[in-house]
Structures are given as C-alpha cells and as structure tokens.
C-alpha cells in the first residue's frame, strides 16, 4: 500500500477529516487518503499526479484544475463510468481504474503514437479511414479501442432516480462572494431564493484564493457571508448542486445528489465566476503542470503541497497570489515567470517582492520536460519579444510543479445558452458577457466585477514550438498547428473549425480551449477576436447521466375492482391500453380458451367487461345529440331499450361502437370500446361545443364495473341474483335495459349478445365489482377471458373496431350499412358516406372458412392474394371449437366477396392457403340463441 505523505497543518485542508482515513485502489495499487479527499487529491497526497492517458496520443495526464473542469481526471469506477477524479470523493474500498490506457498507466504503448503525430494531423480520421469503401468497418473497432473512455457495463442497472420540481423567485448559481451577496440582497426584498453551488461548501473562490498579503481576508469574508446566508430563512442553499442547463422562461436543470431537479424561477443570477486559462507552450500537459487555482485548491481544501519546488507562469496577477500561498505552505518557489513587461502592482505583488521571490518579467515558459515518472522535472524559460519568444536558448529551471494562469474567461455556458453574447475586450484581453436576456443577471468575477485585482492580462499566452506538443485542447490532443491548419483547410469560421478539429467537443466542452482557439482562429483568418467569437453553448454544461434525465419510470396501469379475483383464478393477463384484463384462466392457453368457449355455448360463463367505456348523456336534447353523433336513429328509441351505436368521423370512417341504453327520456347510458372511449368522449365534447345542445356529457367509464353473463343458463343464474326482476323474454327482451338490484347491488342490466348467446351485461358501481363477481361465481359460474370472447364474437361475425377496421373502413365495407339511418337529417360522417357510396365500395369485409382439418391458421394482416397480386388482408382468424374449423374475417375486393368464392391467403414464409368466402354469422345465423 502507498502511504500518503503528511498533510499541511490547519487551517490548510478545510475539506478533510484528519482523523478518518480511507483506502481505495487506483490502477491496481492501494492508496490511503482522508475522509473528504477526492480521488485525485488522495492520489496527489501520495505524491502522484498521473491519473489518465490522453485521448489520441495516450500522453500521461494529471489534474489541471482540481475542480472537475478538465478531462484529464476522467477515471472509471464500477457503476460510474467516466467519473471526474477531482470531484468524486474517495471512499473505502473503491476500485478506480484509469482510462485510455493501453498497457499500464505508467507504460502505455499507445503513447508511441505521439512520435507519429506529424502524420496524424487534424482531420486525419476523415481522410484516412473511409477509403476504399467499407474500410471504416475494419478501422472503427481499432480506433474505438484505442480512444475509448470508460468501458461500458451493459448489465448495469441505474438505481431509482427521482426527478424533482422546484419553484423560486430567484435562483442564484454560484455561492461565492457575489452569489451570496446577490442572494442576501434578494432575500431582503422578501423573495424566495435558491442558492446553489457545485462545491460541497459555500464560499466559492474565497475558500482557496488569496485577496491580501496576509491571506486572511478571503476566508473571513467567506465565513461572514456563509453565516448570513444560513441565518436567512428566505434562502435555500444547495451545495454539491450543479446547474447543467438554462432553458426558455428560466427553466433550469440542476443535478443534486444524482437527481435531476427541474427548477422554475422568475430571475436567474449567474455568479459562476471565471475559468482560469492555461498557458500554451510545449509539453504544457505534463502531470505536475496545473492551473494556479488548482494548486491553491490542493493547498486549501486538502492540505497538500503540490510539490517541493515550484515555478509559476502567469499572464495576470493570479500567479502572485499563488506564489504567496505556495510560500506559506513551505514550497520553494524557483521563479515567478510573468509574461507581462510591466511589473505587477498591488498588495499581493508587493508582498511577493518583499519575500524576495525571483520574478522573471516579460518571459515565458518555452518548454517543459518530464522525468522518468512522467512528472514535470524542469522548464526552459525564455524572454518575450513582443508576443514572440526569443529564439535564443533560455534558462532552465528545475521544478516538480508548474502553476500557470493564462488569464480568465467568464464561465459563459449558462449565460450563452440563454442568448447572451461574449464580447472581447481588447484592452483587458478578456471576454465579457453582454446582451443578457430579461431576468438574467451576471455578477461577480463572471461580470468582471468582483473587485479581484487581476491586473492587466497578457493578450497572447500562446507560444508555438517548432516541435509542437503545445496543447490547446487537452481533451482531443489538439495542438496549435491543428487549429491553424484547420483554417488553412478552408474551415475559416470558428464553428467550422470546431466541427473539423473537434476542438471544444470533448468532456470539458472548451472550458480551457475556447479562448485560445478564438485567438488562434482570429489571427489565422485575419479577423479580430471579437469578430471570431466562440462556438455555441448548449446544454448540458456538465455531464448528466441518462438515468438522471429519465428519472423514475412511471407506467400507469389500470385494474378493475375484480382484478384480484382474476389473479386468484389463475388468469393470464393481457394489456389493453393501460388496462390489464384476463386473457384466459388456466395454465394451458388453448385448452383453457376452448373450454371457456364450450362452457359459454353450452352452459354459461362470466367475463369482466369493466374496461368498456361508459358515457352518461343527459339533458333535454340527449336523443338529438346521439342522433347526430352516431349513425343510427335514437329519437324514437324507447326507454328501457338498447340500440347499437356506430360512430363515424367526418370522413365517414368507423371509429367506435357501443350500445346506447335509454334509461329515461332525457338520459342515455352509452358504452364505448375500451381503448376508444377517451376519443369518443373528446369527440362528443368537441361537437357539442359547436352544436350547443342542452345536453351534459360525462365519462363514467371507471364509475361502473361490469360483467357479462353469457350462455343458455344465464337467465337462470341472473334469476337467482335478482329474484324481483322479471326476466322472461317478453318481460325483458333482447336489447332491453333495466335498472335493478343484483345481489343487493344497484345495477344497470343490458340484455345484449356480443358473443351470440343469451346474455346479460350487468353494470354496477365500481367499488361493488368484486362483490358482484363473488355473487356470480359463488353460483358456480366459470369465468371466461378476452381470448375466448374474441373467438365467440368471431363465430357470430361481430367486428372489433380497431382490429377489423382501419383508417379507411366505412360501414358499408364492414357490412354494417344496416346500422346507418338514412331517414335522419344529419349525423357526423353522413355527407362523406353518401359521396363514398356514390363511388362504389372498393372492398368488403367478408367471412371465410378454412377447410375442415386444416391445422394452419392465417394470422391478422396476412394477405389475400390473386396470384402475386394483393387483393385483401385478414383481420381476424381463429379456430372455432364450436364449428371445428378455422374461421376468419378478411377484406377482399368486391369481386371476391360473393359467398362460395374461393380465396387464397398468403402465410408467413410464402405458403398459401385456400379458404372459402361465406356469409356471417358463422354460427346461429338466425340469432335464435341470443333472442330467446
């Protein structure tokens, strides 16, 4: 095990608990850290800054920002691929693996690619691997293997991740000085504020940066402001929360505790600070080279000195503050290399001079070199002549850490997602956010208004080297020449450069490359940096998992009140929309269905039809309303009678059917199909909005549970349940309707015959459904399921809307012209039907039978063919145990619709089956069994 080196004493190390150690493995070795460490800080505490290999050249890489802003710290943790090691807390037993490694982290044979980088320019992929045609299939796996990030665990299942909705008057993003002050101001106005920060504590850069010579002011201010925020009830502080996107109307996506929070706010304050930029020189990516702010985070958060001997290269005053922190931590500062010609001024710079730090003014790091462990070992420093580097050999400085500050870039992503623009300030060599949308405010350093003394910034911290390896984009291993050459290839717009070179498209999304790229493209295309700009910012600004976006899965399901009884009876369920219905009862499908059919035909069975749609149509104009909505006539329908109700749309297409039961002169109870009732209800509301009839329409589908008792014994059974109700044919005829008590339950009884037997549909209040079911089955009545019902209705030739009809089916096509009244003035679809009829029927839905003994059955949508020509299709087909042969319905051309015609059905696989067109019903043609 690798023992960690000693930490700096408090107050260094504000995040760590020195009493609690953690052990974890990284790259096969065991490391020790402290509770509060990130993986990267714990590895750094053990003296190592090598965390990963780069994407293209497999160069050794270490943390650049220690703030989760760069791709160098991407590691693999089981269940959490591509985690950022500088954000991810180190925990006991964690097993961490580096990524992009071919061989070992220390010895990666893929790094040999760097030797050939001259032959692998930007755009190399596009040019090299696509010819000859098809060769990409060969190269793709190889390239993906070499350039892949974390391996994917396809068996991984995301734990449940809720999504939350939040509502605030103001959301302040960033709980640094500016954010806390903005939140406190808003709270004083009585507003409700969400203050969020991705760090585990409020304070932002106050917690690690230095504002004064003594190094006390920032921390004291952070504590004061944090105390005020904590005492303010109007502020809700979320730490460890990352805003990943801004969307229209101030809708913010925030990831907090691995969950997506959808936040609506009236106003957004961005106090997101700035992103310190790297200096671009040869080998600026070696482990041990980091941003000044990264070194300060290591010191202040984790109590870790980033090295023993430091060099600082800076384009602004930030390097001076870093120098003082390093000195305070006992690190030897070899030199502070200041790119600027003019010496820095201010309290911090003065203190640096007082401590006799060697300042190399107007110079830069020309090249860095590593030792055998890949860590920086020395730098060569050269004077600058204007913005160019002297061609004369410079001074070599030995060091084990190089801290750099190449200037500042406001964290622009969220603002630009909202439509803000970045304007380049030539005099300050910085971008500034402008044209903010209504309701958005930028404050603090992101607005160049933090009061930080950055001083003048050197405008060109970019130093091309004849041998290259000056990295502009660490994610994609893009060097200065790659950007410049992209413009020479003709991609002379920043957006084209991005797409050709992939600059800014890696995990760090251009945080450290956008500014340098803008500068390089501007110069190469002879435009100003302001004209060049940067590429479009789009959400997410930080990584989100698909699981977080998907959130918890909600799949509503619907059950009737009798559902548990079906389960207890061994039902296999099928889904109809969101409803779960019993398909059949028993372990073996065919046996169960056939037995259920036989029982209905010879005895009596009961089926749960609670899913049927139910609509109450009430009011003085109820009959007139139905007359207009349905094809049949309803005005003269008697109270206590049912009538078949067929619905067509304006185009005359059949869209639903049911039964309209007249319970009173001004009251109809209408059934509709299970999956069609919502559409029927909406259609009714829509039409009556125009018609303004005196009618009330209510969807009462789930208010009523219902069963159908069907079979020759059904009257006897019902008689036992409602002895008061006369059930004889004369007293309660076919298509009659009664309101009565069934087993003590108030019920509506409809004598209808969907399955072609004597039958009663009994509708009772939903919560009485199970009691009704019990009362019926206690009499020994066996249940039958939807599958048996489908065969039973097919034997009667009854259509199922949606199965035997499609978006072109008219009543005439499905042989239901009898259900269309020609005597009434109007119904929806009437005019279209007349027009269609004038053109003649183009197809007919006919019944067909298969030869007795034929074991094969066509499936729905199998084609009816004439030679190779399609002349129709099958809509329903099943084996009829009653008729002991296959029967079905099919659309055929009118020429084939005559009973006795032989048709050919093409089965899956091309085999053909002969069938004969017959009249329907297949069974009980005179309807004697249901009307008795």
Give the residues lining the site for other proteins (CB under 8 A): 162-167, 192, 262, 264, 552, 554-561, 563-565, 568-569, 578-579, 610, 616, 618-619, 694, 696, 698, 700-704, 744-745, 765-768, 770-771, 773-774, 777-778, 783
Q: Which is nearer to other proteins, 147 or 569 (CB)?
A: 569
Q: Which is nearer to other proteins, 395 or 616 (CB)?
A: 616
Smallest distance from other proteins to CB 535, Å: 33
- The torsion angles phi and psi of 272, rounded to 5 degrees, stand at -95, 0
Q: Which is nearer to other proteins, 544 or 616 (CB)?
A: 616
Contacts of 812 (CB under 8 A, 6+ apart): 833, 836, 837, 841
Smallest distance from other proteins to CB 708, Å: 16
Gap between the Cα atoms of 408 and 228, Å rounded = 29
Q: Which is nearer to other proteins, 124 or 247 (CB)?
A: 247
Smallest distance from other proteins to CB 610, Å: 8
Smallest distance from other proteins to CB 724, Å: 17
Smallest distance from other proteins to CB 777, Å: 3
Smallest distance from other proteins to CB 252, Å: 14
Residue ranges with strand state E in 345-484:
359-361, 363-370, 376-385, 388-389, 395-398, 401-405, 408-410, 421-425, 430-434, 440-442, 471-473, 478-479
Smallest distance from other proteins to CB 559, Å: 6
Give the 3-state secondary structure of residue 159: coil
Cα distances from 257 to residues 37, 236, 240, in angstroms, run 18, 15, 7
One DSSP character per residue, 549-612 reads HH-S-----B--TTHHHHHHTTEEEEEETTEEEEEEESSSHHHHHHHHHHHHHHS-EEEE-TTS
- Chain-centre distance of CA 914, in angstroms? 50
Smallest distance from other proteins to CB 279, Å: 46
Smallest distance from other proteins to CB 198, Å: 21
Q: Which is nearer to other proteins, 114 or 577 (CB)?
A: 577
Gap between the Cα atoms of 334 and 43, Å rounded = 24
- The torsion angles phi and psi of 156, rounded to 5 degrees, stand at -70, 135
| β-pair type (869-880, 782-783) | unpaired
Q: Which is nearer to other proteins, 431 or 681 (CB)?
A: 681
Query: Helices 514-524 and 494-501, interaxial angle, to 10°?
Result: 110
Q: Helix (H) and strand (E) counts for the chain?
A: 22, 48
Give the 3-state secondary structure of residue 31: strand
Q: Which is nearer to other proteins, 116 or 554 (CB)?
A: 554
Smallest distance from other proteins to CB 766, Å: 4
Q: Which is nearer to other proteins, 343 or 780 (CB)?
A: 780
Q: Which is nearer to other proteins, 7 or 679 (CB)?
A: 679
Max Cα distance, the chain (Å): 118
Q: Which is nearer to other proteins, 47 or 439 (CB)?
A: 439
CA dihedral sign of residues 255, 257, 262, 264: negative
Peptide bond between residue 132 and the one before it cis (omega within 30 degrees of 0): yes
Smallest distance from other proteins to CB 594, Å: 21
Q: For residue 390, what is the DSSP state?
A: P
Q: Which is nearer to other proteins, 778 or 898 (CB)?
A: 778
């Amino acid at each position: 095990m690798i023992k960690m080196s000693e930490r700096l004493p408090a107050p260094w190390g504000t995040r760590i608990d020195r009493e609690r150690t953690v052990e974890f493995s990284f790259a096969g070795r065991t490391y020790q850290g402290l509770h509060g460490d990130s993986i990267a800080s714990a590895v750094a505490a053990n003296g190592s800054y090598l965390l990963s290999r780069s994407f293209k050249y497999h160069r050794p890489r270490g943390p650049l920002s220690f703030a989760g802003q760069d791709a160098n710290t991407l590691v693999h943790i089981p269940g959490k691929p591509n985690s950022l090691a500088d954000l991810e807390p180190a925990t006991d037993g964690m097993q961490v693996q580096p990524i992009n490694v071919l061989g070992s982290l220390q010895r990666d044979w893929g790094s040999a690619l760097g030797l050939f980088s001259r032959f692998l320019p930007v755009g190399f992929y596009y040019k090299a691997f696509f010819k000859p045609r098809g060769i990409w299939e060969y190269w793709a796996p190889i390239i993906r293997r070499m350039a892949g990030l974390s391996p994917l665990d396809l068996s991984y299942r995301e734990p449940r991740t809720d999504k939350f909705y939040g509502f605030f008057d103001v959301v302040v993003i960033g709980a640094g000085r500016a954010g806390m002050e903005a939140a406190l101001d808003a709270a004083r106005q009585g507003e409700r504020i969400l203050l969020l920060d991705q760090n585990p504590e409020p304070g932002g850069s106050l917690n690690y940066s230095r504002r004064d010579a003594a190094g006390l002011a920032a921390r004291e201010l952070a504590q004061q402001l944090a105390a005020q925020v904590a005492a303010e009830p109007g502020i809700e502080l979320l730490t460890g929360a990352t805003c990943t996107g801004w969307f229209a109307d101030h809708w913010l996506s925030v990831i907090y505790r691995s969950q997506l929070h959808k936040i609506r706010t009236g106003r957004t304050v961005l106090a997101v600070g700035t992103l310190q930029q790297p200096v671009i020189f040869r080998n600026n990516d070696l482990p041990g080279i980091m941003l000044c702010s990264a070194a300060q985070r290591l010191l202040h958060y984790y109590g870790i000195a980033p090295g023993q001997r430091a060099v600082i290269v800076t384009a602004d005053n930030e390097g001076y503050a870093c120098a003082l922190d390093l000195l305070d931590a006992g690190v030897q500062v070899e030199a502070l290399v200041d790119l600027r010609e003019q010496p820095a001024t201010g309290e911090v710079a003065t203190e640096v001079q007082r401590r006799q730090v060697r300042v190399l003014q107007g110079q830069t790091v020309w090249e860095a070199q590593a030792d055998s462990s890949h860590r920086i070992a020395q730098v060569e420093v050269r004077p600058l002549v204007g913005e160019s580097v002297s061609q004369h050999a410079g001074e070599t400085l030995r060091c084990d850490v190089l801290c750099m500050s190449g200037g500042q870039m406001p964290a622009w992503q969220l603002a630009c997602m909202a439509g803000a623009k970045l304007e380049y300030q030539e005099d300050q060599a910085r971008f500034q956010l402008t044209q903010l949308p209504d309701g958005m405010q930028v404050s603090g350093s992101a607005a160049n208004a933090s009061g930080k003394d950055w001083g003048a910034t050197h405008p060109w911290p970019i130093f091309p080297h004849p041998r290259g390896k000056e990295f502009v984009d660490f994610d994609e291993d893009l060097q200065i020449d790659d950007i410049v050459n992209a413009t020479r290839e003709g991609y002379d717009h920043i957006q084209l450069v991005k797409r050709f070179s992939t600059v800014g498209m890696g995990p760090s999304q251009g945080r450290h490359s956008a500014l340098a790229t803008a500068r390089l493209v501007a110069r190469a295309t002879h435009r100003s940096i302001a004209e060049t700009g940067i590429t479009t910012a789009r959400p997410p600004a930080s990584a989100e998992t698909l699981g977080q976006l998907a959130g918890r899965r909600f799949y509503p399901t619907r059950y009737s009140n009798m559902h548990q009884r079906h389960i207890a009876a061994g039902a296999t369920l099928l889904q109809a929309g969101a409803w779960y219905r019993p398909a059949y009862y028993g372990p073996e499908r065919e046996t169960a269905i056939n037995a259920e059919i036989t029982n209905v035909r010879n005895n009596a069975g009961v089926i749960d039809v609670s899913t049927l749609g139910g609509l109450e149509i009430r009011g003085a104009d109820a009959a007139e309303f139905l007359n207009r909505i349905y094809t049949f006539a309803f005005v003269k329908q008697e109270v206590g009678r049912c009538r078949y109700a067929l619905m067509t749309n304006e185009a005359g297409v059949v869209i639903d059917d049911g039964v309209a039961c007249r319970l009173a002169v001004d009251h109809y109870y209408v059934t509709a199909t299970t999956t069609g009732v919502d559409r029927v209800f909406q259609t009714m509301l829509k039409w009556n909005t125009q018609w303004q009839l005196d009618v009330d329409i209510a969807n009462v589908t789930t208010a009523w549970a219902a069963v159908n008792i069907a079979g020759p014994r059904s009257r006897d059974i019902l008689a036992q349940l409602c002895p008061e109700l006369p059930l004889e044919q004369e007293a309660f005829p076919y298509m009659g309707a009664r309101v009565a008590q069934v087993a003590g339950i108030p019920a509506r009884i409809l004598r209808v015959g969907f399955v072609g037997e004597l039958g009663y549909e009994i509708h009772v209040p939903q919560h009485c459904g199970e009691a009704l079911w019990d009362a019926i089955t206690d009499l020994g009545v066996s249940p039958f399921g939807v599958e048996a019902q489908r065969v039973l209705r097919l034997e009667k030739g009854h259509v199922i809307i949606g199965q035997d009809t499609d978006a072109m089916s008219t009543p005439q096509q499905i042989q239901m012209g009898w259900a269309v009244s020609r005597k009434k003035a109007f119904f929806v679809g009437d005019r279209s039907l007349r027009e269609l009829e004038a053109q003649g029927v183009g197809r007919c839905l006919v019944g067909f039978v298969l030869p007795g003994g034929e074991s094969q059955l066509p499936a729905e949508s199998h084609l009816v063919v004439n030679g190779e020509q399609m002349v129709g299709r099958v809509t329903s087909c099943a084996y009829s145990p009653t008729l002991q042969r296959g029967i079905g319905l099919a659309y055929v051309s009118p020429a084939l619709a005559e009973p006795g015609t032989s048709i050919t059905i093409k089965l899956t696989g091309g085999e053909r089956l002969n069938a004969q067109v017959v009249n329907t019903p297949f069974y009980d043609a005179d309807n004697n069994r249901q009307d008795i």
